[in-house]
Amino acid sequence: MEILLCFLSSSFQYPVVKIGTEDQSFIDSVMLLKMDLSFSCPVAKISRTSALQIALCKEMVQWTRAEKCMFLRQRVEVRLAALLMENKEFSKVLTLLSSSVKEVRRLDDKLLLVDIELLESKLHFSLRNLPKAKAALTAARTAANAIYVPPAQQGTIDLQSGLLHAEEKD
């Protein structure tokens, strides 16, 4: 098992360090999720590090597949899809999201499903495919109605809805 660490050196270089911990396979996925968030959030605040963030997410996805951490893998794949979408690699995002939607529905993680459907709506809007963008947004709203959605995420859903209505001039 390898845990990825990113750090900012004094010369503003951004290396990825792999720390091997073969004997510590007992680390649970909640701790790993906290570690993933704590290491990747500072890197996200630094400008022009999208390639590093993508490499970090890809490495985490490979590790979670090897360790069979399905919930953590889904979260990291959604973050990877968002990063790829920022880099305008739409075909990769579409294949990643289509496989993720099926697995998340099977796992019944409604909050993650809302994230994925919202990201899919943004993707189709970027590709100017408005019917699919509206369908994905409707699916996100349907999943969001079944659970509590944090206000920031509800605002994102409403913003995407407003963008789609403005594009149609409603």
**pLDDT tens across the length of the chain (170 residues):** 344 444 333 333 333 444 444 544 545 555 555 555 555 566 666 767 778 888 888 988 898 888 888 888 899 999 999 999 999 999 999 999 999 998 999 988 999 999 999 999 999 999 999 999 999 999 999 999 999 999 999 999 999 999 999 998 86
- Residue 129, sorted as left (phi over 0), alpha (psi -120 to 50) or beta, turns out to be beta
Q: At residue 59, what is the residue type?
A: E
| pTM more than 0.95 | no
Q: What is the pLDDT of residues 33-73, one digit of tens each?
A: 555 555 556 666 676 777 888 888 898 889 888 888 888 88
Tell me which residue of 142, 135, 82, 147 sits closest to 111, measured CA to CA: 147
The values of phi and psi at residue 25, to 5°, are: -85, 5
Looking up tokens 């305008």, which residue turns up?
A: 88
